[in-house]
Amino acid sequence: MREMTQQELADRVGVTRQTVIAIEQDKYSPSLETAFKVALVLGVPLEQCFQYDPRGKR
Amino acid sequence: MPTSLSYREKSLYASLAAELLVYGPYFFLHQQNSVNKVAGMIIAIIVLQMILQSIIAIVTRNRVTDERDRLIELRGYRAGYLTIASLMVLGLGMLWFHASVGHLRLDSRMMGLHFLNVFLGMLVIADITKTATQIVAYRRAL
């Protein structure tokens, strides 16, 4: 699989690179629409990209 | 991981700089304010904002804004609204107090300008609070 830069991912999803960084650092929970777009662009199932931890802050 | 500033962040820093540059001298350096100075301040902030925002728009290639930007913007407006609402209540309370103890001379010629400055000050504080809240939200990643 070819590696993708944060900027490329951001451009294809339609968000800023800073938003991609915030999602990666678990500081921002994206909307469902953005989460689906990220999964679609990365070509992986949604649950592989995002997990919910009930013990965590999110 | 280093994060460069987004278009919105740069725009906010420019707004804050313009606000402090124009409002600061007006409220803290001028002892004798007048209607002309108020008008001059309003024109100065508009012109300065136009220049700074144009420069940022020119030098920033990627001007995408997204859902996180909108969320942060709403947070800023909420902080600004709470600030101006609190200041209004405080201002009206002080007005009532001064009127009740007889300190307020409504026939004074300077009273109109005094009220104008007080309300303008409230707007300025609320605006700076809004911008600062947004900057803090960006720096904390949200």
C-alpha angle B73/B77/B82, rounded to 5°? 150
- Furthest CA-CA distance within chain B: 62
Contacting residues of A for B64, CB less than 8 Å apart: 10-11, 14-16
The answer to whether residue A14 neighbours chain B at the CB level (below 8 Å) is: yes
Across the range A26-50, mean pLDDT stands at: 93
Q: Which residue of B has its CA nearest to A22?
A: B141
Instruction: Look over chain A and give the mean of its residue pLDDT values, rounded to a whole number.
Output: 89
ipTM, two decimals, is 0.84
pLDDT tens-digit map of B51-97: 999 999 999 888 888 999 999 999 999 999 999 999 999 999 988 88
Structure-model confidence comparison of residues B106 and B40, the more confident one: B40
* Contact at CB, A16 and B142, closer than 8 angstroms: no
Look up residue B97 and give its two tokens: 């107090």
Residue B103 scores a pLDDT above 90 = no
pLDDT at B100 over 90: no
What integer is the mean pLDDT of B17-43? Answer: 83
**More confident site: B31 or B135:** B135
Q: Report d(CA B91, CA B7) in Å as an integer.
A: 36
Classify residue A44 by its DSSP letter.
S
Q: What is the pLDDT of residue B1?
A: 44
pLDDT at B4 over 70: yes
